[in-house]
Structure 1
Amino acid sequence: MENKEKLPWELVEEILSRVPPKPLVRFRTVCKRWNTLFDDDTFINNHKMTFRFILMTKSKAYSVSLNPEIEVRELILDIPALKNQKPNDMVDCNGFLLCGMKGAVVCNPWLGQNRCIKAEVNQPRLQFHGVGYDDNSIGQKIVYKTLARSLNDGSSTASSRIHDIATGTWKDVLDEARDETLPPKTWCRFHSTRCVALNGTLYWVAYYTSNPSLFLVSSFNFSREKFFIFCGLPCEKNDHNDALVLRIFKGDRFSLLKQCHVTKKIQIWVAKDKINWYTTTDVKWMSFMEVSIPNLPCLVQTQSYTQQPSYFIEDKRDGF
């Protein structure tokens, strides 16, 4: 029997105005009325969050909209905890903003919702990497979690911990990713602590401790609660002073920006196919663009950096 119970059109518009832009495009096929609505100037102007991507600084976040002109606005985060202290780091991850401080705050900029993560008593200083989720959750309900590194003051060691946002509980995990085909203790280290999130899994540019010139992509899967070596990079020769920035392209694959610290040349590659956490070494990269300007400033100023350059690319050509 057809369900004839319908929501008021005003409520439908309100709900759709809170949907991020990329999923909204797919909804054009639902019906003619929805398709027409998305071209309506009033709907576009009233859309709660029309930004395409976020630019991050150490303590502030900015939304960038294309409507069609470029508009940059500061995201005002209504977080009481931020009024008395300055975030030591901010991470844009999985559609959330993760603000590190004493503990952390997870913000949903689309809905204006926040969730505080309280540090445990006598817990060492934490560096939060990102927000992901367990794809083995019971009842198909997504359980969001954060991954943080516990920095033990006074020692060179560190360990990673998972925080379950729903229950507020912490769990220790193995801090390393290792290639099982290589000799024991062939571990990976992050090139930068900044990660990207795709389908609940976190990804970083990393390198082998046994061969510091060999770079790769490592991952952390919340379902398995483990780090993995994921795939290689398209650029063979790299230096620790080069900028190597991993981002998400078209919502389902990788893009990689490299700037050589010597020539200042910028190269960007994109993954040919969609990325799944089980894809591993089968990722195929394609050259997207190159920019060579000898007097271009370095995009990063230090070898060990947490704040990476922000960039956004889009290509509507067939085959991409």
Structure 2
Amino acid sequence: MANTEKVPWDLMEEILSRVPPTSLLRFRTVCKRWNSLFDDNAFINNHKMTFRFIVKSRTKIYSVNVSSKVEVRELTLNTPGLKPQIPRSLVDTSGFLLCGMRNGVVVWNPWLRQIRCIEPEINQPTLNFHGIGYDNNRRDDEIVYKTLSTYQKDLDSTTTCKCKIYDFASDTWKDEELEKAKYTTLLPSTSSLVVVNVVSLNGTLYWVAYYDRTHVTHPLLFILLSFSFSSENFRKCCDLPSGENHPRDALFREDGFLLLKQCHVNKKIKIWVTKNKIDDRYGENVKWMSFMEVSIPNMPDLVQTESYSQPSYFIDGKRLVICSCDENGRAWIYVVRENKLISKTQLDSVVDPWPLHCTYFPSLVLIPGGKREKL
């Protein structure tokens, strides 16, 4: 009689956590349980090849994993015709990295070593690429990814800008003129909008943004600004629980957001989390609650006014892990647990000052129309 004994599931998970990500894609068809496992964030986070930060210096790109110790590895971005270039900007969005180049943009899944180059149209002006999303009104199973980019229509104009949307499926561009009044009518006319950074959740892009209001008691008004690929419109999503301190980053956490702010006086860090599920229907009904407070003596400034560099961070259980630059531009990893600074590690291999960095959430999602990088 054949031996029908099965491998325990916890042992199977441990084995699969050591399999290269590119091989996991082929194993999706083995069974429904394996396919579901590969979509589980806990499995992805515990995979032995997972990394949580991307750091870009002037000449190199690195991945940083923070588990029992900090591990830094150099990454390669082999793009046809763009191989010598290092991205000018990095945005973690929809499981991909959006890499702004001198000409066009590269969509990159570094975990799967897959890329797609998006070439600009002829005579297209310099674009500011903001993120990747999709139309969440679609009823079919296929997700059609799109990118949002903007540029100033008239350098002398302060009321309008041009929006360009790129469709991955059709490989086409769409132009739309956006009136700033569409998303500023709820705010004072004396305000000027400053966008801090972007995250993507359920196909919609969200920014932490603030309005610099002149001649008022509290000059800064912080909001969550969104762009829906379904309606192709910006709108104010909700106010942020910022008080007089500046929020410095926002991350999606399952179906909500985390918001980090640091007091400029006592360096105290506070993390806020959304209470309800985030989608386009909630609008200003989004509620925030305090999630974590960290007060550590001699905690450095996580935002340096000289470079306006913002911290990248994630929460793993009771650990708060932060990537930030010090006053001299050197990159550090801080690990905090229960109001204690557990470790502080300088990224010695990143020799250039003021590197760009972002939190990265590994994904097994293939880039539509993408190609594998050459080794």
TM-score interval for Structure 1 and Structure 2 normalised by the shorter chain: 0.7 to 0.9
How far has the Cα of 1:61 moved from its partner? Answer: 4.7
Alignment of 1:153-302 (within 5 A): 155=156, 158-173=161-176, 174=178, 176=180, 178=183, 189-192=193-196, 194-208=197-211, 212-238=219-245, 242-249=246-253, 251-293=254-296, 295-302=298-305
For structure 2, the residue ranges without an aligned partner over 5 or more in a row are 1-5, 22-43, 319-375
Deviations 1:78-118 (A, max 9, x none): 32344232211011111001110110011123433211111
Percent identity over the alignment? 49
Q: 1:297 and 1:303, CA in 2 relative to 1: closer, same or farther beyond 3 A?
A: same
How far has the Cα of 1:218 moved from its partner? Answer: 0.6
TM-score (norm 1): 0.74
Quote the residue 1:137 is aligned against: 138
TM-score (norm 2): 0.64
How far has the Cα of 1:223 moved from its partner? Answer: 0.8
How far has the Cα of 1:73 moved from its partner? Answer: 3.3
Return the match for 1:43 from 3, 13, 16. Answer: 16
Return the match for 1:314 from 289, 313, 316. Answer: 316
Aligned partners of 1:268 and 1:38: how far apart in 2? Answer: 36
State whether residues 132 and 222 of structure 1, in contact with CA within 8 Å, keep that contact through their aligned partners in structure 2: yes
State whether residues 272 and 283 of structure 1, in contact with CA within 8 Å, keep that contact through their aligned partners in structure 2: yes
Aligned partners of 2:295 and 2:276: how far apart in 1? Answer: 27
Aligned partners of 1:261 and 1:168: how far apart in 2? Answer: 46
Deviations 1:214-254 (A, max 9, x none): 1110101001111010011122223xxx45211112x2110
SS in 1 for 2:238: strand
More moved, 220-229 vs 108-117: 108-117
State whether residues 212 and 220 of structure 2, in contact with CA within 8 Å, keep that contact through their aligned partners in structure 1: no
SS in 2 for 1:281: helix
SS in 1 for 2:120: coil
How far has the Cα of 1:129 moved from its partner? Answer: 0.9
How far has the Cα of 1:273 moved from its partner? Answer: 2.5
RMSD over equivalenced CA pairs, Å: 3.1
State whether residues 270 and 294 of structure 2, in contact with CA within 8 Å, keep that contact through their aligned partners in structure 1: yes
- The number of aligned residues is 277
Aligned partners of 1:175 and 1:119: how far apart in 2? Answer: 23
Aligned partners of 1:98 and 1:109: how far apart in 2? Answer: 11
For structure 1, the residue ranges without an aligned partner over 5 or more in a row are 1-31
Structure with larger RCO (C-alpha < 8 A, sep 6+): 2
Aligned partners of 1:221 and 1:187: how far apart in 2? Answer: 23
